[in-house]
Structure 1
Amino acid sequence: MEGNRVYTQSLHFLFGKNFEGATRIVDQRGVSKISAHPSGRFIFQVAGESRRKEQYLCFAENFCACYSFFYDVVNRGEQLCCKHQLAARLAASLGSYAEVKVSDEELALLLSRI
């Protein structure tokens, strides 16, 4: 149990407020993995926490369509990733996401809207 606390503290140190937001999103089942068939390509759709309940498409390792990604991660370089990317990573690690199957064409259409 002590190891889990140390691990959580380390993640909080690395990701700050984004870690708290990401864990809330995962706890509220706000992550979906959209997988395309037959290619197997996928992207995550992650719920925002604002009143508008926006959904953000993101590649967990290197992109999110949210404002914070462009402002805090890309522009200012103050964060390693946004909370949506972190939520996608956590959900993938825990297997705690909804699975959505689409065609390759449907995934391409989703991506064209980013």
Structure 2
Amino acid sequence: MTSSSGASRMSASCLVAETIWKEIESTHKVNDDQLWTLHFLFGKNFEGATRIVDQRGVNKISAHPSGRFIFQVTGESRRKDQYLCFAENFCACHSFFYDVVNRGEQLCCKHQLAARLAASLGSYAEVNVSDEELALLLSRI
């Protein structure tokens, strides 16, 4: 397989996933077909993401007055580490850098998926901070 066909497959997968996320956002509900398709696209990472969302492990940290936000997602390890992530393009976890960026084996990590699923369902805790507090939080990444 050439790298361009791999890129095409990944972009097609991203388009399918994006369509499903928008459907879920419009209803704040997820059906079996959507779950199956997302599982097909993301595999074990999606399974982990659903467990995180079910356990209420996603916070949306919103800054005021700018309205900027980032998600804080609790990991599944015994340590219950918390990772800052932008659902579409970044997570501070090891898996994001190793499996997504470095090896290109995954489209995203389970924390990104948990943030995206929670955002689509409206199933997250809201944490309000000042713009300065958010800037300080981001400077630690």
Match of 2:133 in 1: 106
TM-score by length of 1: 0.96
Match of 1:31 in 2: 58
The amino acid across from 1:31 in the alignment is: V
Q: Does residue 75 of structure 2 align to residue 44 of structure 1?
A: no
Q: Does residue 97 of structure 2 align to residue 82 of structure 1?
A: no
Match of 2:19 in 1: none
CA displacement 1:4-56 (0-9 Å, x = unmatched): 22221111110000010000000000000000000000000000000111000
Bigger share in helix: 2
TM-score by length of 2: 0.78
Distance 1:75 1:107 in 2: 27
Q: Structure 1 vs Structure 2: percent identity of aligned residues? A: 89
Say which of 46, 69, 72 aligns to 2:99.
Answer: 72
The amino acid across from 1:60 in the alignment is: A
The amino acid across from 1:11 in the alignment is: L
Larger Rg: 2
Match of 1:10 in 2: 37
Bigger share in strand: 1
CA displacement 1:56-86 (0-9 Å, x = unmatched): 0000010000000000000000101000000
Distance 1:77 1:43 in 2: 23
Gaps of 5+ in 1: none
Q: Does residue 102 of structure 2 align to residue 57 of structure 1?
A: no
Distance 1:7 1:38 in 2: 35
**Structure 2 SS opposite 1:6:** helix
